[in-house]
Structures are given as structure tokens and as C-alpha cells.
């Protein structure tokens, strides 16, 4: 009791309180000094580390090591979140491979298969290194139909060639396929020339000669019924003489779409003759339009008078000339004109593709040629011409020198009776413009009145009205 009282008295002593306050102040000052010392030391450490980092990063001796370290850090960072992460669980790494081919195992001599896709997708699962190795392997998907009979079947797809240390998942897992028994049909062999654009156009291909003309085809009855023809595909790339080759045979349906069938054998030996038929024919200028300002063409001189054309014999037999068109309405003075040669249908190429014409002009003159006989064409009836008209006047226009060369015998005026019916009718009179002529012809009288008789006439040749 006495001690407690003494303590209380002591606590209430002002000197004691002052002493306690001094102790607390000294302790606080000591803490502040300690913290300041620690802070100063920490800053010195940070400044030293920063200076060291600067010396390493920007020192040429350490640049290779720094680059390598950064590359490794970047690689680890990128691959940390990938499916093949070197830090991830090796059992969950996966990679998808698209469009892996499917191989069917079945008796192809007996059955035809349908419904099987050509490819499927797979997913490779396993350790990263194993998955990467499997991706580069030439694996395949297998549809095993061995032992199955004709009809529809559900087949599980499996894989081969990816190794045993990974798991392979196939999408789709199962497929529905149909097996149909094959039968044999016989077809004639046709042909198609391929790559004709790679052959010089001056050459012509003859009729191929095959080692045999028919071929056997094995397929289901449905497929055989869809086949319209079998063609040998004959490659004519760069051919310039007779040649032989083994041509591939392909089956087609009526729309020209290839049909999947077994052609036995699938090639045929063929011989093809190659020729270069040609013919040299004159070049004729065909003028259209009229020369302005009352002028006419006096003469046309060409740098080539003829051209050699290349085509089949049947085409060449029908061609006696080739034309070049000249628009007279564009001529205002003597001119040199470059124009392309117009090749007839069926002509593949020519020795000359264009010609240069030296065109001379002169003053145009008009002249009338009287009493030109009228001819009729394509008639199967007898007829009479009203007023017994058998002749007509023809007006010609050209330079004086050119029209002086024309007489009535050079002009053909006619009317076409191909659409005639019995009774009175009017037919249009036409005048034949000679090819290459520099003189223009026109008929003064545009029509002719004719009475067509009902009696048939066996005479269908072109004759003058005066001889009817």
C-alpha cells in the first residue's frame, strides 16, 4: 500500500514527466535517424544497380549476351500461352491438321464405293515435341471396309503413320458408305485433242488411228448407265509432224462431266498424222462508203498482192480470195493506209496479217449504161414481165479512167424469186458490185413488176428475163 502511494506520488511529480518526455524525444530522433540512414542506403543500392544495368545493356562486349537473353525471354513469353507451351502440361498440347486424305480398303475389283469423303480433319494430342513431329509425318486416314458385303455401312475412320506416342482424333469419326457390285460394259473410243493452243497454227491434225476401237469399263450398273462416251485425250503440245503416244482414256456423262469408273486398259496407243495444208490466194480490197467532196478512188496499190493461208483441205477448197476492208468515207486526199487482212472462217493463220495500201484519188464522174439485161434467180415458176421489160439503165460513178473501162457486159442486174407465189408481184432489182471494183453501180429503176404463173418450171438457173 505504501509502495503504491509512493509510485502515485512519483507519477504526479513534474520532474518525472519531464524526464519521460526527454526519453521519448531521444527515442523518436533515433528512429528518424535510422530510417534516414536506411533510405539513403537503399537509394545508393538502386543507383548502383541502375548504373550496372546501363553498363551491361549499352556495353558492346555484352550486346550479344543481352540479345540472346531477350530472345529467350521473348520465346518463353510467347510460347507460355500457346498450345505447345514448354511450361504447360505436356499431356494437353494439341494441334489440328486439315484435309488429311482418306484411304479406303476394300475389294475394288468387285465393288464400287460411294459416300466416302476424300479427306477429313484430325487433332493431334500429346507432348509438344511429339505433336510437332507427328505434324510433319505423312500420315493418312483409313476407312477399312474389308470383309463387308454389298449395301450401306457405317465405317469408323482410323489413322496410320502418326506414331504411338500421341493420340489422334478424327473429325468425323464415322462415315456412311455404300458398296455396289461392279459389272462390265463395252464402249467405243472417241478422242479430244488437248493443248491445241500450244501447237503452231500452220499445222493441221488428221484423224487419229487407235490400236483398238473399243474398251471395257467396270463399274456399278448405275455408273455404267451414266457413261455417254469414252474419250482418248491426245496431247498435241508443240507437235509439228506425225506422232504416236499413249493417250489417257476418260469416261464422261452426257453433260461432259468425268465419271469415276475402271477403264481396262486406261490408255490406248494412237497415231496421228500432222500436215500443213495451205493455199496462196489474191488479196481483194472491199471499199465501203463514199469518198467525200465528189472525189472517187483512182487506184489502190498494195504492198502484198496475195497471201498464203493455212487451213484444212475442206476449208481451203472453198476459198479463192481474202478481203481487206477500206472505209472510203475517211479519205480526203492521197493516203497510205494500213489495214488488217480479214481471214475467212476456218483459216488458222496466214503468211501476211496486214497490208499497206497506197490510195490515189481523182474527180468523180457519173455515167449511165443503157440497156443492161435483167436476170432472175431462184425461180421454180414460169412468169411474165409486165410491159415486156427485159432491160434497165444502170448508173455508174468513179473516176473517168475507171468508168471508161465498164460496159453493159460487165454489169449483172437481177431479182430474186425465191419467195415467189403465183400472181402479180413486184421484185426488188439489185446490181452485183464486182469485188475489188473502184466503180459504184446503182439501178435507176428499183423494182420490176412480174406475173408469176402457177405452172412449175424445172429451169432454176440464172437467166435473162428476155430468154424466159
What's the confidence (pLDDT) of residue 134? 84
The grid coordinates listed for 151 are 449395301
375 close to 413: Cβ distance less than 8 angstroms: yes
| Least confident span in 206-210, 355-359, 379-383 | 379-383
What's the confidence (pLDDT) of residue 133? 85
Query: 224: how many CB neighbours lie within 10 A of its CB?
Result: 20
What is the per-residue pLDDT across 239-279, written as a single tens digit (0 to 9) for each?
Answer: 999 999 999 999 999 999 999 999 989 999 999 999 999 99
Residue 457 neighbours by CB under 8 Å, 6+ apart: 379, 380, 381, 382
Closest Cα partner for 93 from 37, 140, 132, 149? Answer: 132
Higher per-residue pLDDT: 146 or 89: 146
Q: Rounded distance, CA 37 to CA 172, Å?
A: 72
| Least confident span in 2-6, 38-42, 220-224, 416-420 | 2-6
Tell me the average pLDDT of the chain: 84
State the average pLDDT over residues 1-10. 46
Would you say residue 328 has pLDDT above 90? yes
* pLDDT bracket for residue 162 (50, 70, 90): confident
Higher per-residue pLDDT: 402 or 463: 402
What's the confidence (pLDDT) of residue 135? 84
What's the confidence (pLDDT) of residue 266? 93
* pLDDT bracket for residue 389 (50, 70, 90): confident
Q: Rounded distance, CA 21 to CA 59, Å?
A: 57
What's the confidence (pLDDT) of residue 433? 85
What is the per-residue pLDDT across 85-94, written as a single tens digit (0 to 9) for each?
Answer: 444 454 558 8
What's the confidence (pLDDT) of residue 6? 47
What is the per-residue pLDDT across 187-237, written as a single tens digit (0 to 9) for each?
Answer: 999 999 999 999 998 898 999 999 999 999 999 999 999 999 999 999 999
Q: Is the dihedral of CA 159, 163, 164, 169 positive or negative?
A: negative
What's the confidence (pLDDT) of residue 52? 65
Closest Cα partner for 369 from 389, 351, 394? Answer: 394
* pLDDT bracket for residue 77 (50, 70, 90): low
| pTM (predicted TM-score) | 0.54
What's the confidence (pLDDT) of residue 298? 95
Amino acid at each position: 500500500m505504501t509502495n503504491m502511494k509512493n509510485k502515485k506520488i512519483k507519477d504526479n511529480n513534474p520532474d518525472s514527466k519531464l524526464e519521460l518526455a526527454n526519453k521519448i524525444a531521444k527515442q523518436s530522433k533515433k528512429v528518424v535517424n535510422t530510417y534516414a540512414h536506411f533510405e539513403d542506403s537503399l537509394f545508393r543500392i538502386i543507383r548502383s544497380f541502375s548504373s550496372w544495368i546501363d553498363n551491361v545493356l549499352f556495353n558492346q562486349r555484352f550486346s550479344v549476351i543481352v540479345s540472346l537473353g531477350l530472345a529467350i525471354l521473348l520465346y518463353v513469353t510467347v510460347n507460355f500461352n500457346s498450345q505447345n507451351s514448354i511450361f504447360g502440361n505436356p499431356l494437353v498440347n494439341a494441334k489440328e491438321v486439315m484435309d488429311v486424305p482418306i484411304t479406303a480398303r476394300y475389294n475394288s475389283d468387285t465393288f464400287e464405293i460411294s459416300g466416302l469423303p476424300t479427306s477429313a480433319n484430325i487433332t493431334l494430342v500429346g507432348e509438344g515435341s511429339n505433336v510437332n513431329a507427328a505434324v510433319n509425318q505423312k500420315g493418312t486416314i483409313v476407312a477399312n471396309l474389308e470383309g463387308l458385303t454389298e449395301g450401306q455401312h457405317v465405317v469408323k475412320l482410323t489413322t496410320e503413320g502418326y506414331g504411338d506416342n500421341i493420340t489422334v482424333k478424327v473429325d468425323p469419326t464415322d462415315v456412311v458408305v455404300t458398296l455396289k457390285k461392279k459389272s462390265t460394259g463395252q464402249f467405243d473410243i472417241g478422242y479430244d485433242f488437248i493443248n491445241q493452243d500450244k501447237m503452231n497454227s500452220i499445222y493441221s491434225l488428221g484423224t487419229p488411228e487407235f490400236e483398238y476401237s473399243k474398251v471395257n469399263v467396270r463399274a456399278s450398273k448405275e455408273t455404267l448407265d451414266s457413261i455417254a462416251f469414252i474419250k482418248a485425250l491426245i496431247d498435241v503440245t508443240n507437235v509439228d509432224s506425225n506422232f504416236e503416244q499413249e493417250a489417257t482414256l476418260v469416261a464422261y456423262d452426257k453433260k461432259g462431266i468425268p465419271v469415276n469408273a475402271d477403264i481396262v486398259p486406261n490408255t490406248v496407243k494412237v497415231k496421228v498424222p500432222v500436215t500443213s495444208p495451205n493455199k496462196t490466194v489474191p488479196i481483194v480490197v472491199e471499199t465501203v462508203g463514199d469518198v467525200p467532196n465528189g472525189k472517187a478512188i483512182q487506184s489502190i496499190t498494195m504492198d502484198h498482192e496475195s497471201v498464203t493461208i493455212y487451213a484444212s483441205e475442206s476449208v481451203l477448197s472453198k476459198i479463192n480470195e481474202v478481203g481487206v476492208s477500206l472505209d472510203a468515207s475517211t479519205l480526203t486526199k492521197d493516203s497510205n493506209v494500213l489495214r488488217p487482212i480479214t481471214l475467212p472462217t476456218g483459216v488458222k493463220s496466214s503468211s501476211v496479217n496486214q497490208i499497206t495500201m497506197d490510195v490515189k484519188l481523182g474527180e468523180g464522174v457519173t455515167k449511165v449504161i443503157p440497156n443492161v439485161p435483167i436476170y432472175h434467180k431462184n425461180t421454180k415458176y414460169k412468169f411474165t414481165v409486165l410491159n415486156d421489160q427485159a432491160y434497165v439503165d444502170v448508173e455508174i460513178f468513179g473516176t473517168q479512167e475507171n468508168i471508161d473501162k465498164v460496159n453493159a457486159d460487165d454489169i449483172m442486174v437481177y431479182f430474186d424469186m425465191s419467195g415467189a407465189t403465183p400472181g402479180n408481184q413486184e421484185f426488188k432489182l439489185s446490181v452485183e458490185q464486182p469485188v475489188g471494183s473502184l466503180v459504184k453501180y446503182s439501178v435507176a429503176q428499183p423494182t420490176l413488176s412480174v406475173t408469176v404463173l402457177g405452172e412449175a418450171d424445172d429451169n432454176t438457173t440464172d437467166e435473162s428475163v428476155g430468154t424466159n
